[in-house]
Structure 1
Amino acid sequence: MKRILDNIINDSRDSANTGKVADYIPELAKANPQALGICVTTLDGKEYYAGDYDTKFTIQSISKVITLMVAILENGAEYVFSKVGMEPTELAFNSITNLETSPQKRPLNPMINAGAIAVTSLLNGKTPEDKINTILNLTRKICENDSITINEEVYRSEKATGNRNRALAYYMKSNGIFDGDIEEILDVYFKACSMEVTCRDLARIGAMLANDGVLISGERIVSRDICRIIKTIMVTCGMYDASGKFAVHIGIPAKSGVGGGIMAAVPRRMGIGLVGPALDSKGNSSGGLKALELLSREFDLSIF
Structure 2
Amino acid sequence: MKNLLVNLVDKNKKYTEEGFLASYIPALLKANKDDLGIYVVDIKNNEEYWAGECDVKFTIQSISKVVGLIIALSDNGRDAVFKKVNVEPTGMGFNSIVNLEIRDEKPYNPMINAGAIVTTSLIYGETEERKLERILNFIRRATNNEDINVNQEIYESEKETGDRNRSLAYFMKSNGILEGNVEEVLDLYFKQCSIEVTAKDLARFGAVIANDGITPWGNEVLMSREVCRIVKTIMVTCGMYDASGEFAVQVGIPAKSGVGGGILATVPRRYGIGIYGPALDQKGNSIGGIHVLKNLSEELELSIF
TM range (shorter): over 0.9
> Is the 1:38–1:272 contact (alpha carbons within 8 Å) kept by the matching residues of 2?
yes
Alignment of structure 1 residues 1-304 onto 2, 5 Å: 1-44=1-44, 45-102=46-103, 105-216=105-216, 217-304=218-305
Quote the Cα distance in structure 1 between the aligned partners of 2:103 and 2:295: 37
CA distance in 1, matches of 2:145, 2:78: 27
Q: 1:114 is matched by which residue type in structure 2?
A: A
Q: Which runs of 4+ in 1 moved over 2 A?
A: none
Once the two structures are TM-superposed, the CA of residue 178 in structure 1 deviates from its matched residue by 1.9
The Cα shift of 1:179 comes to: 1.6
Deviation string 1:86-110 (CA, Å, 9 cap, x unpaired) is 000000000001111225x110000
Paired residues of 1:170 and 1:182 also in contact (CA < 8 A): yes
Percentage identity across paired residues of the two chains: 59
Cα distance between partner residues in 1 of 2:16 and 2:229: 31
Query: Normalising to structure 2: TM-score of the pair?
Result: 0.98
Instruction: Point out the more displaced range, 42-51 or 256-265.
Output: 42-51
Give the CA RMSD over aligned residues: 0.8
1:129, 1:272 → 2: CA distance? 30
Q: Deviations over 1:77-136 (max 9, x none)?
A: 110010000000000000001111225x11000000000001111111121111111111
Deviation at 1:147, TM superposition (A): 0.2
Structure 1, residues 129-178: CA drift from partner, whole Å, max 9, x if none? 11111111000001010000000000000000000000000000000002
**1:236-276 alpha-carbon deviations (Å, 9 max, x no partner):** 00001000000000001000000000000101110000000
Q: Which amino acid aligns with 2:219?
A: G
Corresponding residue SS for 1:226: helix
- Structure 1 length as normaliser, TM-score? 0.98
Gaps of 5+ in 1: none
2: CA distance, partners of 1:98 / 1:286: 26
Aligned length: 303
SS in 1 for 2:13: helix
Report the AA paired with residue 39 of structure 1.
Y
SS of the residue corresponding to residue 235 of structure 1 reads helix
Amino acid in the other structure paired with 1:210 = A
Check the 8 A contact 1:17/1:287 in 2, yes or no: no
The Cα shift of 1:12 comes to 0.8
Question: Which has the larger displacement, 108-117 or 220-229?
Answer: 220-229
* Contact kept? 1:238, 1:253, Cα under 8 Å: yes
Residues in 2 aligned to 1:163 and 1:29: alpha-carbon distance in whole angstroms: 19
Give secondary structure in 2 for the equivalent of 1:17. Answer: helix
